[in-house]
Amino acid sequence: MPQHTGQRRKVKDEASQEELKAAYRRLCMLYHPDKHRDPELKTQAERLFNLVHQAYEVLSDPQTRAIYDIYGRRGLEMEGWEVVERKRTPAEIREEFERLQREREERRLQQRTNPKGTISVGIDATDLFDRYDEEYEDVQGSSFPQIEINKMHISQSIEAPLTATDTAILSGNLSTQNGNGGGSINLALRRVTSAKGWGELEFGAGDLQGPLFGLKIFRNLTPRCFITTNCALQFSSRGIRPGLTTVLARNLDKNTMGYLQWRWGIQSAMNTSIVRDTKTSHFTVALQLGIPHSFMMVSYQHKFQDEDQTRVKGSLKAGFFGTIVEYGAERKISRHSILGATVSVGVPQGVSLKIKLNRASQTYFFPVHLTDQLLPSAVFYATVGPLVIYFAMHRLIIKPYLRAQKERELEKQRESTASDILQKKQEAEAAVRLMQESVRRIIEAEEARMGLIVVNAWYGKFVNDNSRKNEKVKVIDVTVPLQCLVKDSKLILTEASKAGLPGFYDPCVGEEKSLKVLYQFRGVLHQVMSADNEALRIPKQSHRIDADG
């Protein structure tokens, strides 16, 4: 799609057909080949005139315009639109687009899997705080604390879609603790029976437990309520052990869910919980009555609205087993990785530090048991230690790595778009040459009325922060294109990337860009800097440069 359509993609209030025709006529007058006698300018004008015509054809047709406004150029390139009935609303077109995407996904169904895995390594570090030095005074090397790995758990699962409604799920796990361990393997077959529910059959076997047969059913009872039932038969040397778990859930409001759970079997229990999840917080309260454990739990998580998706959390859990207080935080450290740490302080459990790394669909969990007692020193080191290590790693390892990764991605993006950017640059330079005469007339008219005159305008990457002084400034002069857009002493730019404006191009692909304008209105200098996708309207009193400055 030519660059002249880019400026209309993110406009909140769509332009009317009359406004579209007026802009089309204006650009046609500017680029019409008959207005230029120079052979080179005439050739350039013909090319730009054709691009404007193509853009008008897209935006003037209700269907293609709706497709482009919603999905951009990739929507127009999606195969299948030729069989779509015309004169549909944007909502209907969106549904049709999603249907076409689903059909493409179904054609690749056999090649897709959804691997998920968990690796947990338990570490016993109690010798750091609970030492019995008097018992090991004569033992060589006893002055060094002994840190041991006392348990490990590995689990993995993959999904294999068989048809559009059937999926096979293969999973397995291995566990070991204090020298003893075992494993199991499970196969589940899931079928989506309707839009309201699905069913799943499970078969499993392991070296510690005998065969397992299970059935799981999910059903939407109403648009706001669903039920899940899971029944299982576990065969062992002690006989058959049946189990049944039923969960009833209901939307209490837009952000709140209520759950009722009944579990019958080896550890029978009844549990009720309320979960409220909003953009900035996550709150849970739960109560369980059961054998052998009954407890009450309250937890709260605050979500910071930053690019690292930082979250801090705390919880209190009290029951027949004792009381546990937990607090911690998690943060996104890369595009696909989230690192978190939680301190657990309990009676009689003691103090533990739990470190978790989520990498895509893989989870790495490291619970470190520090002491069986409530020692202030253990709580202090469990809290401060991870913070110091994280900030040191972030500054010395993570941040440089992400910076280098971003540079590699930008370089790859520049290489892949080099030919396209070169073409847009040539089109922009040709457009500027064709604008010269029109700009001269606009400036004469504006000078006569003491109106709006663009003195200088630059577009691209500006470096104003001292911490980024080593970065290179990448800007282009857009004085002529901006002056050409002035009408009746006004310049209005919509919420869209300014790289799509006539006479503009992207001088720094993938980097943040701004538009800096120095203009004169009623004989007084004004200056403004606008972000790339920010709407801009000039003149404005707030842009005025004080004479004293």
What's residue 292's pLDDT?
78
Secondary element (H or E) of residue 340: strand 337-347
Q: In this prediction, what percent of the chain has a pLDDT beyond 70?
A: 80
Q: Is 285 exposed, middle or buried (0-12, 13-18, 19+ CB in 10 A)?
A: middle
* Tens digit of each residue's pLDDT (9 = 90 or more) over 270-328: 999 999 999 999 999 999 998 878 999 999 999 998 888 899 999 999 998 899 999 99
Taking alpha carbons only, the member of 474, 526, 533, 529 closest to residue 499 is: 533
User: What's the mean pLDDT in 27-54?
Assistant: 72
Q: Look up the pTM and report it.
A: 0.62
Taking alpha carbons only, the member of 154, 166, 155, 168 closest to residue 113 is: 168
Is 70 exceeded by the pLDDT of residue 129?
yes
What's residue 244's pLDDT?
94
Q: What angle do CA 109, 115, 119 make, to 5 degrees?
A: 175
- Highest average pLDDT, of 104-118, 363-377, 399-413, comes from 363-377
The answer to whether the beta carbons of residues 499 and 506 sit under 8 Å apart is yes
Q: How many residues does the chain have?
A: 549
* Tens digit of each residue's pLDDT (9 = 90 or more) over 430-473: 888 888 888 888 899 999 989 999 999 999 988 765 545 555 66
Q: Which residues lie below 8 Å from residue 403, measured CB to CB, with a gap of 6+?
A: none
The helix/strand/coil state of 31 is helix
What's residue 171's pLDDT?
94
How far is C-alpha 112 from the chain's CA centre? Answer: 22
User: What's the mean pLDDT in 355-379?
Assistant: 92
Residue 163 exposure: Cα atoms within 13 Å on the Cβ side: 7
Is 80 exceeded by the pLDDT of residue 253?
yes
Average pLDDT value for the chain = 82
